[in-house]
Structure 1
């Protein structure tokens, strides 16, 4: 090992940030140096993205700045594009400038996952995911902009297209995003006299025969009934065939035009995983041992969405790719990295899944916790309480709590900042030799 040894962590999400945080607390002075590489300089607490999209939580409060939290770690921003386990090096490309080759003594590979897309015509051009805070902000601004458009146009086709919102995928991300945004849009209609909530069409498309499988069949059926009671059109056993130019075609024969297509139909391991040269399972995840070591290695560790970790509480199965496992795996992973450094015994990861909670809009939720089923306001309260306890740092806990408190006292903000997506557009217009444009006046 080098002196001091370098622990290189690829990924600044749940696994990467929590592992680095525990290492900087547990390492003795000079025992090792920790380097974290991620494309962003912050960690996103994804369970709060639906609330950020609905305006219940300030978007900045659902992200945690890595440089502030990991103040004793080296933070590098860029993309890791290759791993050489034999040479113990990774190739990193910063956002600008030449690539760098970084050596390591111990590696934690946890780049997470990306949206799992299908070769559906028009999806890449018209769709948007719901995994990042940027996507959540864009969707909030976009939905409010569609209400602005519907209230301003006299073209019924344009109006119908603007007020049609299509979500594909009925897992946590899809159901929570749709429920929170529908709740926000319904509330916003009070400020649009010409737009009635009944004018909006919300469509949830799911290829399987159930929604929210994480909360169990009974709670899934109850959630389905609640969504349909709100006028949301839920299609089960239906797939998206195409979405070219916003013309959505489903395999049950339905065709409609929509300016909003949100894709939340699952995730897949980060592309870096395939370029790592590490052993993969049939789903493209890194094969790991119960001690969170890469199979056949004593210097490479992995966990989270990109890893196939044996679930010791359910022999023969792998841990689900969710935040609950990722955060707890990070604790074991950090302890095992320290054990490897110190030559002591590593311990296996074991955690029985506690259950799931989901928000369905203000004062509405569904949960299954240790076998107990909750619904309505109590489940919504449990959802907020659980995630408030889990969001990293006291700073963010307090800020989120203040956001919720203010939301109880004041109505939602319905400002649409659509120009955030194209911040230079106005300047480019002003810099033209002839600033005339069709919409000037």
Structure 2
């Protein structure tokens, strides 16, 4: 690898006189982070060298991204430092763009666009997911995503910028378009975002003298027959009532057929004038998976119940990018959720350690703990351990779950402080301007473009 800066250490320069086996984990998301945290506990210090390759230096707690978009949580409070939390792991910043299974090396595209090779003895593929897009004209050019901090902050800035334009506009038709916001996807992310953003925009509109709450229009659409189809019908109905009570226009069994700079067209032919389209219609495995030349299932890497990739030696995969068979569900692929990723990480770490002679391997068995959906304020729906809850009780369980799931005490404390301050002081509603519009498309913001340009 290139010569490191003064005071830094290149992963290739690390090691011990005994040349320890090197475990390389690709990705610092829920799955990769969990694997490394458990490997540090399972393996003695002299058993292996641990390296994580990631384009960022943190685990992002994506479950609270809607709260970043609504100014309820500070962006950095959702970022758990890899270096602080994983003390025995070396971080190599960059995107993995190529894997040589025979030569046991990976090619890393570093932040300065330099490519470097990194050797491995055990490889754990957990590159996560990106926003799933479909072939809808104009979608990738005009839709915004919600998969990382840059997208969440940009969405907040963009919405506030539409209010600025609307407040300065004399034409009521143009003003209406600027204050109309469309979200596609009524799953967890889209439903939470719609419910929370309508509260946020009602607060924000008070700063603009020529606008009122009546000018704001939020539309949530999905091909599914109900919101939150992953939950039971009773909780789905309760969430739908919250959305309706806040004035969200929920359109089910339909979606958009075209996106433009100033409007979206629905599949029934109706056009809605808007400058804001947020795409929350699911996730797709990291583009890295399609470059490996290995069998996939719906785009996810095929693995066995012990996370091993068939026809390769010493390669494991898990998380959103792997079709991990869940033996508790007839070996159907496990869901693409943070809960699955974290718990897969614990078992995968055990199996990687077993491959190095420490402990015994076992298959992944998932025990569903339930789901939580934060609808903002005291509204929420949840089914912890299968017990359906809504309202204040669900909101308390939801907040408690998020604080428990955050893997660092510092982040828990800061997020809890954000929530407390939000109840005691007026919310700060300002634009931060971190991400220029040219970089706001899903492909650019999530760096999908590097896999479309020959790894340039």
The alignment's TM-score, normalised by the length of structure 2, stands at 0.89
Q: Which runs of 5+ in 2 are unaligned?
A: 1-17, 439-456
C-alpha distance after superposition, 1:49-105 (max 9, x if no partner)? 111111111111011122222232111111111112222111111122531121111
Q: Aligned equivalents of 1:276 and 1:378: distance in 2? A: 46
Cα distance, 1:324 vs structure 2: 0.5
Equivalent residue, structure 1, for 2:180: 164
User: Is the 2:372–2:382 contact (alpha carbons within 8 Å) kept by the matching residues of 1?
Assistant: yes
Q: Which runs of 5+ in 1 are unaligned?
A: 425-441
User: Is the 2:21–2:47 contact (alpha carbons within 8 Å) kept by the matching residues of 1?
Assistant: yes
Q: Aligned equivalents of 1:226 and 1:182: distance in 2? A: 11
* One of 163, 174, 178 as aligned partner of 2:194: 178
* One of 18, 25, 30 as aligned partner of 1:9: 25
Cα distance, 1:314 vs structure 2: 1.3
Equivalent residue, structure 2, for 1:105: 121
* One of 348, 355, 361 as aligned partner of 2:370: 355
User: Is the 1:115–1:268 contact (alpha carbons within 8 Å) kept by the matching residues of 2?
Assistant: yes
**In the alignment, does 2:343 pair up with 1:337?**
no
Q: Which moved more, 1:104-113 or 1:141-150?
A: 141-150
The alignment's TM-score, normalised by the length of structure 1, stands at 0.92
* One of 132, 142, 149 as aligned partner of 1:116: 132
Q: Aligned equivalents of 1:52 and 1:246: distance in 2? A: 25
User: Is the 2:72–2:422 contact (alpha carbons within 8 Å) kept by the matching residues of 1?
Assistant: yes
C-alpha distance after superposition, 1:370-400 (max 9, x if no partner)? 2211111211111110011001211101111
User: Is the 1:15–1:330 contact (alpha carbons within 8 Å) kept by the matching residues of 2?
Assistant: yes
Q: Which moved more, 1:52-61 or 1:368-377?
A: 368-377
Equivalent residue, structure 2, for 1:67: 83
* One of 421, 427, 436 as aligned partner of 2:435: 421
C-alpha distance after superposition, 1:241-284 (max 9, x if no partner)? 11122221001222111111000111111110111233322x01
User: Is the 2:26–2:32 contact (alpha carbons within 8 Å) kept by the matching residues of 1?
Assistant: yes
Equivalent residue, structure 1, for 2:109: 93
**What is the root-mean-square deviation in Å for CA atoms of aligned residues?**
1.8
Q: Aligned equivalents of 2:365 and 2:71: distance in 1? A: 37
* One of 357, 361, 365 as aligned partner of 2:380: 365
Equivalent residue, structure 2, for 1:35: 51
Q: Aligned equivalents of 1:423 and 1:73: distance in 2? A: 36
User: Is the 1:366–1:375 contact (alpha carbons within 8 Å) kept by the matching residues of 2?
Assistant: yes
Tell me which stretches of 4 or more aligned residues in structure 1 moved more than 6 Å.
none
Equivalent residue, structure 1, for 2:329: 314
Residues 120/97 of structure 1: CA separation in 2 closer, same or farther (3 Å cut): closer
Equivalences for 1:224-263 in 2 at 5 Å? Answer: 224-263=240-279
Equivalent residue, structure 1, for 2:310: 295
